[in-house]
Structure 1
Amino acid sequence: MVNRRKVVAVGDYCGKTYIIQTFVKDELPEPQLTFVNFDVTDVEINGTVVELHIWDTCEKERFEASRIVAYKGANAFLIFFSIYGQQTFENVKTKWVPEVRKHGPKNVPIVLVGTHCKELTLRSEKGAVKNEDIEVMVREVNAVAYVECSADNKYNLEKVFETVVAATLEE
């Protein structure tokens, strides 16, 4: 029997498609517009191979109905924001968490993903969302984890998807 998990990715325009495509294809993709994209890849956690179905959604309001359809049957959500975009960070709490909680399956894990983070040492740059604010957000939205990553140098890409798969295995 194949061990499958469905994960839905949401968030403002902050590189989520780029991150997903880089992880799945192991190369930097060409920029593209998407309203709902679907990828399948295998992820191994502690000797268990999981066939991961990743649904990448569009943040634009006109695609809300498509996003909501994608939420059905989700085992987890990845909610993305840019560590250099305060509004994308605030929308985690004001838009994305309420939307997935309202329209998605109940009690599924949420993993927050901070994008555009090439190394942890760069977090002190001017304009970056503060670590303390992220820690508060993780608690407030009851996320199971927070991972920072970058598609440009593949920093923590595997960790993002290993973390979300591990969270689904704990259901």
Structure 2
Amino acid sequence: MANVSTSYDYLFKVLLCGDCGVGKTSMLCRFISDEMNDAYIATIGVDFKLTTLEMRGKMIKLQIWDTAGQERFKALTAQYYRRAQGIMLVYDITNEQTFENTASWLRMIQENSTSDVKLMLIGNKIDNEQKRQVTTHQGQQLAKDYGMDFFEASALSSENVSEAFSTFTENILKHMQGRYKEMVGSQVSLNKLGLNDSSTKPKRESPCAC
């Protein structure tokens, strides 16, 4: 069962994207409720689930959005990219075309998300190793080229699913805390320079009472 706490320190919105049939919904259900159903229907538009994780002494609420992989829904789901702190791009290791299509998904991410969004690439269905068409090295290289975290996993067997989501959440947390420290550091520097001191601002002369 999903652990959803009413109190939390951070709320992270994470988006799942990738071709239809790569197993996004299956991975999400495996992570949230440790369930797997071969009869999942294709996601229509977007759906989301909530869970809460404890990371580095902080309570993190995850709002995980599962987006449709069909072409006709791309315009609809694009708006959700801008709101995400993290995006997980999923492909099927037994279907080379889904890996090749990551190029168009990455373009969509670059066009619609913020510049500091965290990315993870996940190769799903490693339980079906005998039908593998995409090597681990190919996935690792693509992830390296785009600065993404990388995991191979199986929604069917649950291998690496929790590890992928947990690692990604922790990396988003580190990133957000790092940004906060930079902002605080910049503010301190401005204060030291007196640039935020109102006394340094030129005073307006009082209007003459003629």
TM over 0.5: yes
Which residue, out of 143, 147, 151, partners 2:151? 147
Aligned-partner Cα distance in 1 for 2:16–2:173: 18
Query: What amino acid does structure 2 have at the position aligned with 1:152?
Result: L
**Counterparts of 2:51 and 2:76 in 1: how far apart (Å)?**
22
Q: 2:117 aligns with which of 89, 108, 124?
A: 108
The two structures have a TM-score, normalised by structure 2, of 0.73
Say whether 1:10 aligns with 2:17: yes
Q: Which residue of 1 aligns with 2:184?
A: none
Q: Which has the higher strand share?
A: 1
Deviation at 1:39, TM superposition (A): 0.6
Aligned partner of 2:81: which letter?
Y
Misfit runs of 4+, over 6 Å:
none
Question: Partners of 1:41 and 1:18 in 2: how far apart?
Answer: 16
Structure 1 residue 126: Cα displacement: 5.2
- Matched with 2:162 is 158
Identify the structure with bigger relative contact order (alpha carbons < 8 Å, sequence gap 6+).
Answer: 1
1: CA distance between counterparts of 2:56 and 2:66? Answer: 26
Select 2:68's aligned residue among 53, 58, 72: 58
The equivalent residue for 2:83 is: 73
Q: 1:138 is matched with which residue: 135, 143, 158?
A: 143
Q: 1:46: Cα distance to partner?
A: 3.3
Q: Deviations over 1:42-70 (max 9, x none)?
A: 12323332110000101111111221121
The unaligned stretches of length 5 or more in structure 1 are none
Secondary structure of 2:166's counterpart equals helix
The 2-side partners of 1:68 and 1:18 are apart by 21
- In the alignment, structure 1 residue 26 sits paired with structure 2 residue 34: yes
One-letter code aligned to 2:67: T
Distance 1:105 1:68 in 2: 12
Kindly provide the amino acid, as one letter, of the partner of residue 36 in structure 2. Answer: L
Tell me the distance in 2 between the aligned counterparts of 1:148 and 1:44: 23
Larger Rg: 1 or 2?
Answer: 2
Distance 1:68 1:8 in 2: 11
- Is 1:42 aligned with 2:42? no
RMSD: 1.7
Does the residue aligned with 1:21 lie in a helix, a strand or coil?
helix
Give the TM-score normalised by structure 1.
Answer: 0.89
Counterpart Cα distance in 2 of 1:33 and 1:130: 26
Q: How far apart in 2 are the matches of 1:47 and 1:22?
A: 25
